[in-house]
Amino acid sequence: MANLQQYRQLICSILTEHTKIPYSYGNIQHETIFDREQDRYLVMILGREPVPELSPTATRRVHGCLIHIDIIDGKIWIQRDGTEEGLARELVKAGIPKDRIVLGFRSEELRKDSEFAIA
């Protein structure tokens, strides 16, 4: 699977599937952001979660990036991976060669010891 358009479709599909996994507590929503022109793909989380140590009704705002993937120079860069299974594993299962996946959340030194691309 070397076609960038296929990479884009696959990434969007995988990230959309992650938005279907509900949080076990709180009122947390998922939001996808797909910028196909800049090749940036994100899943954001936002909402409110309980803070029982403060009071039974207290909540705090939740807002952050769960997943961030970029396509840079034909390679899939995983910039943020807040999933349990791991996006790299999911991409490999979907047919992306390991040498096309960069674990961008790791330092270049640590990437050298991985089975994935360095850059």
User: d(Cα 45, Cα 103) in Å, to the nearest integer?
Assistant: 21
User: d(Cα 21, Cα 36) in Å, to the nearest integer?
Assistant: 24
Q: What is the pLDDT of residues 10-44, one digit of tens each?
A: 999 999 999 998 888 889 999 999 999 999 999 99
Torsion sign across C-alpha atoms 68, 81, 32, 71:
positive
| Domain residue limits at 20 | 4-112
Domain total in the chain? 1
Q: Are 111 and 119 in contact (CB under 8 A)?
A: yes
Q: Give the pLDDT confidence score for residue 1 in this predicted structure.
A: 44
> Within a domain: residue 118?
no
Q: Are 40 and 70 in contact (CB under 8 A)?
A: yes
The structure's pTM equals 0.90
How many other CB atoms are there within 10 angstroms of residue 12's CB atom? 15
> Within a domain: residue 79?
yes
pLDDT at 82 over 60: yes
> Within a domain: residue 55?
yes
Q: Give the pLDDT confidence score for residue 43 in this predicted structure.
A: 98
Q: Give the pLDDT confidence score for residue 113 in this predicted structure.
A: 82
CATH number, residue 54: 3.30.310.110
